[in-house]
Structure formats: C-alpha cells, structure tokens
Amino acid sequence: MRRGIAAAVLAAAIAVSASACGSGGSGGSSAKAAGPVTITWWDTSDATNEAPTYQALVADFEKANPDITVKYVNVPFADAQTKFQTAAGSKGAPDVLRSDVGWTPGFAKAGYLVPLDGTPAAADTSAFEKQLITQASYSGHLYGVPLVTDTLGLMYNKALFAKAGITTAPTSWDQLKADSALVKQKDGVDGFDFNAASYYAMPFLYGEGTDMVDATAQKITLSSPAAVKGINTIKDLLASPGVGKLDTTANAYASMMDRFESGQVAMIVQGPWETTNVYKGTAFSDKTNLGIAPVPAGSTGKSGAPIGGHNLVAYAGSDAAHQAASEKFIAFMTSAQSQQTIATKNATLPTRSDAYTPAVTANPGIAGFQTILGAGVPRPPLAEYSSIYGLFNTELLKILAGQESTQAGMDNATTATRKLLPGFATQ
C-alpha cells in the first residue's frame, strides 16, 4: 500500500461535494445487453500496488462474459472526483467508477449516478456489512456497492507494552494517557503520537456521542458541548507525559509512521492501509508484534471510528445496454470470490462477511481490523458531509496550536459549515 494513502484520505474528505438536482427513479436498468457492448471503468486504486489485481479480475470477467468488453482506465485518486464531475456534466463519464465513499452522496445528489436497487449489482447486499450499505445509499436509494472498506483503529507495539508491564490495549483516552506515561517511564520512548487531521479527530467526537452534524435533526453540532469536550481531550493528550509533541509540518504523517515502525512510539491511531508498511518496519519484522484494537472510548464509554473505503457506482448517462453490462460487472467485482482475491493480493478489507475466509484472515492486519469494523460509524447520507472535514480541519489545527480557543475554533467551523448547509440549525 502506498504511504500517501492518508493524504488521499484527507483530500477525499475535504473535497467539495457535487451539487445539483437529485436524480429520480427507483432503480437502474436490468435489461440484457443486446449484442457485444464495451463499458469503461475508471479505477482509482494505486496504479503500482493495487491496479494489477483489478486488471486481472477484469480479464476474468471478460472471459466469463464474452459479449462485454471492459475498457480499463486507471485514474489517479487525487484527480478522479473532479474528472468525473466534469465528464458527467458533459455526458462523457465512464460507465463505472471506483468512487470514494465520501463522493457517492454528492454524485447521487447531482444526478450523475443510477440507483442500483433491484438490479443484479445489488442482488447480494444482505452479505455486506450493514453500515457499508447505509453509507452507499442516498435519499432512500442504493447508489453504490461497497468494494473495499477501512476504519481507524489503535495500533500498538506489543513488545513495548510488555516491557512497560501493560497487558491490554487501553479502552479509554484516560487509560491511553496513563499507559503513554508508563511507556515513557519504562521504555524511554513515547507512548502515543496523534496525527493532527480532522479525519483522525473523529473518534474523539464519536466518543462524546456526537458528530460534525446531525443529518436527521438537521443540526450542525461542531460547536456543541460534546464536540468541544472531544477536542479538549486531544489537547489534554498532547500536553501529557509520554505523548509526542504536536507536529503540523508537511512531514508530520511520514514522521509519525517512521517512529512507530522503528519502535520509537508505542501507539498510533491508524487505518489498515498502513499495515503493509508497518510490517516492513524494524519493530514489526515479527508481524505478531503488531496489536490492533478499537480506538479508545470517550466519556460516554463508547468507541467509534469513521468508515472509509470505495464503492462501485454506475453512470446515469449511460444507455440501457451499457447500464445492464455495468450492473453485471459491479456484481462480479464485488462478489465474495473477487473480494477474496482483492484482499489476499492487495491486503485490503473486504466489505462482505463471506469474503473473510481463512486465506484472507491469514493476514494478521486484515484479521485484526475485521474484529473492530463493528465500531465503525458510517457517514450520514449528506452530499456536503465530506466538505465539512476541510472546514473542521482548518480550525482544528489552529486550536491545537493554541492560536484560538476550542470553543472559538469550533464556532468558526460551524459558521463556515452553515454556508454549506444553510437550512441546518446549530447546536
């Protein structure tokens, strides 16, 4: 997996959502393609480490479906959202797109996607993790089928824990703070590093029972007492013994990962996309030394982490024959067999329970993150939600750097968010 994935995660989170009138209808075309048809698929996976697996699956699909040809195009993830929006607006978008989960609601609202309810693409949805189907839906309809998923968890160094006399992963932020001080005292290294970005701050909001918005109640909750308390928990951690100092430089993420991989810090909050890199580190030449646990809970006693990943979506501007072929292709690529192949080759997490075979869970990183997927929190079906990450991120960095108070910063984030969601009240 590429080291730049975390930057891509944040870039996807802060990208401006598509906006326009919503699409109508209750489902896509399930008509059979009449004669040979060629569909175009834009794959946004890493061109070097992940794309070959998808290209091989395309070849398998074409062998099984000789009347359908798939034109495979690898589009850099950082450019894909804008490229698709531009292409869809001019009726030239690909038939199928590997869409970040954060893009799906915006594309659906803009009318760029065809609903997949009742089509062959959605025939197997009961096998998928429920929250992933929720996250692939918008305005009561399914607009994507989950292809890969991820969430944040607590990664920890078991050897450093054992040396410090720590027997289990911390289950609360207070416990993590105490364990960090103990690691510093016993091991001489830091206990915890925090990646100062809004996506990585979400567990602190969830732990206080809140989010950036309450989509159901149509409220912006960034200024709420619960959200302020969550951010103050981060500030308290950063000021604690054994916790790495705040780093907002361009190299902050890479530095954090290097420190963890070399055993200079015992704990980080991270996603499964980094497990392959972690195993290359000197501290984890023995893969069993990597511990994976749910992110610690806040004062509510509950733990939560954002769910990421990618859906396969179908372009609403395609004709019936191309939509039918696209639905068939999406069903194939998201099948249990295909997901097993993707997981074993690319070390990514499947989105359906029947894909977690012994061969897949033989990868300890996948097995570890599978156990914590249940703590994942799906994003609300709100087209503008991903854009709020950027507004939140701007103020979060100022708050943590001491340039403004927590309340003032969260109030500023709320004011900026109100421009995106003028019909929402504030809390």
DSSP string over 165-234: T--S--SBHHHHHHHHHHHHHHHSSEEEE---SHHHHHHHHHTTT--SEETTTTEE-TTSHHHHHHHHHH
Same domain, 17 and 164: no
Per the structure, the count of domains in the chain is: 2
Interval 190-214 mean pLDDT: 98
Report pLDDT digits (tens) over 81-107.
999 999 998 888 999 999 999 999 999
Global pTM? 0.89
Asked if 194 and 248 touch (Cβ cutoff 8 Å), the reply is no
Same domain, 18 and 50: yes
Report pLDDT digits (tens) over 377-395.
999 989 999 999 999 999 9
Last-in-domain residue among 362, 377, 392: 377
Same domain, 296 and 321: no
**Average per-residue pLDDT for the chain:** 92
Report pLDDT digits (tens) over 308-342.
999 999 999 999 999 999 999 999 999 999 999 99
Half-sphere exposure (CA, 13 Å, Cβ side) for 113? 32
Same domain, 88 and 193: no
- Confidence grade of residue 31 (pLDDT, cut at 50, 70, 90): very low
Q: Take residue 318 and report the two structure tokens written for it.
A: 């395609």
Same domain, 96 and 15: yes
Report pLDDT digits (tens) over 156-191.
999 999 999 999 999 999 999 999 999 999 999 999
Asked if 83 and 94 touch (Cβ cutoff 8 Å), the reply is no
Same domain, 67 and 128: yes
Same domain, 176 and 144: no
**Which H or E run contains 290?**
strand 290-293
Structural domain boundaries, residue 262: 153-305+383-426
Asked if 284 and 364 touch (Cβ cutoff 8 Å), the reply is no
Last-in-domain residue among 377, 402, 418: 377
Beta strand 305-314 pairing with 265-270: unpaired
Helix (H, G, I), strand (E, B) or coil at 383: coil
Interval 192-212 mean pLDDT: 98
- The label of the residue with tokens 């993420």 reads 253
Interval 282-294 mean pLDDT: 97
Same domain, 317 and 298: no
Q: In this structure, what DSSP letter does residue 289 have?
A: G
Same domain, 105 and 145: yes
- Confidence grade of residue 21 (pLDDT, cut at 50, 70, 90): very low
- Confidence grade of residue 25 (pLDDT, cut at 50, 70, 90): very low
Percent of the chain at pLDDT above 90?
89
Same domain, 292 and 338: no
Helix (H, G, I), strand (E, B) or coil at 78: helix
The CATH number assigned to the domain holding 421 equals 3.40.190.10
Structure confidence at residue 272 (pLDDT): 95
Same domain, 200 and 226: yes
Same domain, 329 and 356: yes
Residue 7 has pLDDT above 70, yes or no: no
CA 270 from centroid of its chain's CA atoms:
11
- Separation of alpha carbons 252 and 261, rounded Å: 14
